[in-house]
A and B are shown apart, each in its own frame.
Chain A
Amino acid sequence: MDPYALKTLNAERRARRAAILVTDLGDGRDRIVREGDSVAGELGQAIAKAFRSGSSVSIEAEGRTFFLNAHLPQPRLVVIGAVHISQALAPMAKIAGYPLEIVDPRTAFATPDRFPDVALHAEWPEDVLKRQPLDSYTALAALTHDPKIDDFALKAALDANCFYIGALGSRKTHAKRVERLLALGASADQIGRIHAPIGLDIGAASPAEIAVAVLAQTIHAFRSRGLEAKGAAA
């Protein structure tokens, strides 16, 4: 392995950016491909697929054998609101492989007692997200339906291109939210990415059932990344 390739790869991984190490198994030469770099032909198609699936794979292309080692950042879930739904969502998301953090400035809600073993920030989203910005391998679920707490985080999630953005609240609540986000400078296209009412439509009623619906929608969004854009181009 080229020492420079290893350094570059580790730098990308530390910065939570997706990268693939492409090794020619015939002559041992390797190089780093970042998400969004254009690579032509069969090799390029295989690379695009590996970015989407996150699976590493050996492939034959252009008469050679290549190994694609896909390094995707750990997907994570940021939840705004230390509410009843979040209490159910925290353990479920962890088991599913989406470690979760909870942000809620209301200290009566954000207590370790209510959220044992969870990364909990009893602070305003403005402060937490300044310290730990969102990115495209992060999902954001806004669950307080309080504009003072949710709106900033939703706008930040749109700007960071989070792979999933969901917001709790009825259609009426969401319509008012859309007005506010437009006023904050979000475009209609951006706002269209918000899942509201939140969660896959499984008829969820209880807080725990809504948590299942939110988690399922998060997983679906992660596993279908890039497919919408591809469908639109076709």
Chain B
Amino acid sequence: MDNSIYLDEARDPLIIAEGWMKDGKDVAIATVVETWGSAPRPVGSHLVIDAEGNFHGSVSGGCVEGAVVSEAIDVIDSGKARMLEFGVADETAWQVGLSCGGRIKVYVERLG
């Protein structure tokens, strides 16, 4: 069976990342690799970012996306992957912490 009716291509972060790549854009992919407590998005969720800061998908309920996008632009420049942690215990909690009280680990890597 064709998955197209079950795969929302217009909003699917990995499909969008592949499209950006074909357009010759530099792309970073952020992935939730671990969660503790109540986390808004499950392990495996993606946020994809281009060098201009455009993004699709989510790694939280909008709480930390801004911080991930700015880290992702550095990752695109340097080519070196980073592991980010967000949560109430984090010192940046005031700015970008998860208001729900959970903690997440996000792996950010460049595509290619």
Query: Which A positions have Cβ atoms within 8 angstroms of B?
Result: 1-3, 6-7, 9-10, 13-16, 23, 25, 28, 55-58, 67, 69-70, 73-74, 76, 99, 119, 132-135, 138
Contacts and interface: CB of A to CB of B under 8 A. Distances in A.
Contacts of A135: 1
B3 A73 contact: yes
A43 to B, nearest CB: 16
B18 A7 contact: yes
A6 B44 contact: no
A56 B1 CA distance: 24
B6 A6 contact: no
A6 B43 contact: no
Interface in B1-47: 1-7, 14-15, 17-18, 21, 29, 31, 33-34, 42-44
A56 B35 CA distance: 11
B33 A25 contact: yes
A67 B17 contact: no
B109 A76 contact: no
A132 B2 contact: yes
A232 B4 CA distance: 35
B1 A67 contact: no
Contacts of B4: 14
Contact of B81 (A10, A28, A74, A76): A28
Interface of B: 1-7, 14-15, 17-18, 21, 29, 31, 33-34, 42-44, 81, 83, 105, 107, 109-112
Given A6-B18, A16-B1, A67 B107 contact: yes
A138 B17 contact: no
A6 B17 CA distance: 9
Contacts of B44: 55-56, 69-70
Given A10-B15, A135-B1, A2 B7 contact: no
Contacts of B42: 56
20 contacts: A1-B110, A2-B112, A6-B21, A6-B29, A6-B111, A13-B3, A13-B7, A14-B2, A14-B7, A15-B3, A23-B31, A25-B33, A28-B81, A67-B33, A69-B44, A70-B44, A74-B6, A76-B1, A99-B6, A119-B5
Contacts of A132: 1-2
Nearest to B42: A56
B107 to A, nearest CB: 6
